[in-house]
Homo-oligomer: A and B are copies of this chain.
Amino acid sequence: MDEISTEWVAEPDLDDPAFVEGLPGVGHVGKLVAEHVIEEADSEVVCRIHSEHFPPQVTVDDDSVAELAAAEIHAVETEGRDLLVLTGNHQAQDNVGHYRVTGAFLDVAAEFDTTDVFALGGVPTGELVEDHDVVGSVSSADLKEDLAEAGVEFRSEEPAGGIVGPSGLLVGLGGKRGFDAVCLMGETSGYLVDPKAAKAVLAVLEDLLGFDVDEEALDDRADEMEEVVSRLQDMEEGPSPGDEDLRYIG
The reply to whether B64 and A138 contact each other, CB–CB distance below 8 Å, is yes
Chain B residues with CB below 8 A from A58, complex form: 137, 162-163, 168-169, 171-172
The reply to whether B52 and A96 contact each other, CB–CB distance below 8 Å, is yes
Chain A, residues 132-159, CB within 8 Å of chain B (1/0): the string is 0000111111001000000000111111
Chain B residues with CB below 8 A from A99, complex form: 1, 52, 56
> Which of A29-37, A65-73, A193-201, A214-222 faces chain B?
A65-73
8 Å CB contacts to B: which residues of A151-202?
Answer: 154-159, 162-166, 168-169, 171-173, 175-176, 181, 183
The one of B62, B98, B159 in contact with A56, judged by C-beta atoms closer than 8 angstroms, is: B98
CB distance from A164 to the nearest CB of B (A): 4
Chain B residues with CB below 8 A from A56, complex form: 92, 95, 98-99, 102, 164-166, 168-169
A60 within 8 A of B: yes
Closest to A171 in B: B66
CB distance from A124 to the nearest CB of B (A): 15
Complex: how many Å from CA A155 to CA B156? 46
Closest to A70 in B: B172
The reply to whether A60 and B96 contact each other, CB–CB distance below 8 Å, is no
Chain B residues with CB below 8 A from A3, complex form: 96
The reply to whether A53 and B163 contact each other, CB–CB distance below 8 Å, is no
**A/B interface sample: 7 pairs, CB < 8 A:** A3-B96, A7-B176, A50-B176, A56-B102, A57-B168, A57-B169, A68-B175
A: residues with CB less than 8 A from B are 1, 3, 7, 50, 52-69, 92-100, 102-103, 136-141, 144, 154-159, 162-166, 168-169, 171-173, 175-176, 181, 183
